[in-house]
Structure 1
Amino acid sequence: MHAVPNVTLNNGVTIPQLGFGTFKIPPADTRQATLTALEVGYRHIDTAEMYGNEKEVGDAIRDSGIDRDDLFVTSKLNNGLHEAAAARTAFDQTLEDLGLEQLDLFLIHWPRPRTGNFVEAWQTLEEFYRAGRVRAIGVSNFKPHHVRRLMENSVVTPAVNQIEIHPYLTQDDVRAFNAEHDIATEAWSPLAKGTVLRDPVIVRIADDRGRTPAQVTLRWALQRGDIVFPKSVTRERVQENSLLFDFELSEADMAEISALNRDERTGSDPDENG
């Protein structure tokens, strides 16, 4: 695996631009899948309380024998736990399940503007950050108006905003807002659950480059500056998704892929989720 570039967050913490995602990997498969990713060379792991597999991720980290300082581990606060006491309990459980004393990045998973209180949740994450229990804090699935409200009522600016991004949902407006406020953008579902891999434009560019559609799509995200973490449970695919740093897409390739945008989500709209 080629060396993965780091992105420097707004508090000086560095995060590998490519990671391994564990969304929808069943707990029974998570330990081996994560261990495979670590064996291939991944050093950035993304999980969440909602995924129900933090313990198995922690088992893989322990069994890998890799020095903790060489790993970057992200998790997220589950929905329904925005109240301060609930968030504190949940964070304690995350650390216990992962077997870690300190997390690298902790995110509010969804703003849930109708039923949650993400401002209170954020102020609690600031507690964890000030106490040194997490190296950076951020948000996930936040639109600009959610972030503005948060920043008006907090001290720490989010280091990261993790949002759905792929060629059919380029999220240029959110990415521009993030950049304006020095918030790194992370892209979840970077392959749009596989739907973009059949797109004729991406297939043609992949053929021209002697690459797979997945590699071209992930390379597009990386060249835009996004942090990505594809997931798979097969070694071949995990390996394939890591081979992204020995080729580049041209400006024309990038423009063609970006032009595929249709504002099409595979997941929920953050204003509708809760």
Structure 2
Amino acid sequence: MGDAYSEVDDGGLRASLRGIWSSVAPAWGELAEQVDARGAELAEAMLDAGALVWGDHVLEIACGPGGLGIAAAGKVGPEGTVVLSDIAAEMTTIAVERAHRAGLTNITARQLDLERIDCPDSAFDKVLCRDGLMLVPDPAAGAREARRILRPGGRAVFAVWGPRDRNPWLGVLFDAVTAETGISVPPPGMPGPFSLEAPGALGAILAAAGFIGIDVCEISTPMTVESIADWWSVVPALAGPLARLLGSLPAELTRAIRARAVAAMADFATSDGYRLPGVSLMGVGCRPPR
């Protein structure tokens, strides 16, 4: 059985991650509307926490298909700007195409690594990062970079997934893969969606990066689907490294994983489908004024 994680080592981890997210970009593009709908409440909370105003210059890092940054563009108006960025150029292409289809002219796109942001100091009024900080090898470096590129008094808003046991919409798939294959998900050394789930972890990273006025809160992010087929068509396709792994497995093993996940989801069945709990952690911090 091939292991899609076998290419990952200390020297090539970032290159591997870039390749992984590039490979799933088409699925993110196809499912962008569902991603936006699922994340609408979190996006609104992040924009409110960011206190965006007319004329702000905003950077979204790890933008994926760009839904958050596209929403931000409406807040800052034509006098403001939004830069959509991601480590995978394929993602930024999708994001900016969506922005242009929406008629937005204050959006540009760049391929940027959030751990090494190729932008000058004090370049932005606000920084937004949804579901990205927990997926990099060094989230502390990412937080420091976000602080560096903010103007004095600027504000950054990060969202990461909360505890795995409170996010069964994804956790049941991880558990099923491990039970059927013996492969740890994520494997040792690979950053995963729950890498910042520990109480206080996100706040500690922001404090160590030099942010002040830090606030971390929970946002409910459940997933509602009409059927198992709907869930299976979305979650595995978007799951980055896991999507690549599933694509490498024999069909009978994939069927066994799906059956195990389905059994675990029985507790979340409703009269019209499934409601799977989810929780995100939203952290806000400001760069100190001069």
For the criterion TM > 0.5, the same-fold answer is: no
TM-score by length of 2: 0.33
Work out which of the two has the higher radius of gyration on C-alpha atoms and give 1 or 2: 2
TM-score by length of 1: 0.34
Bigger fraction of residues in strand? 2
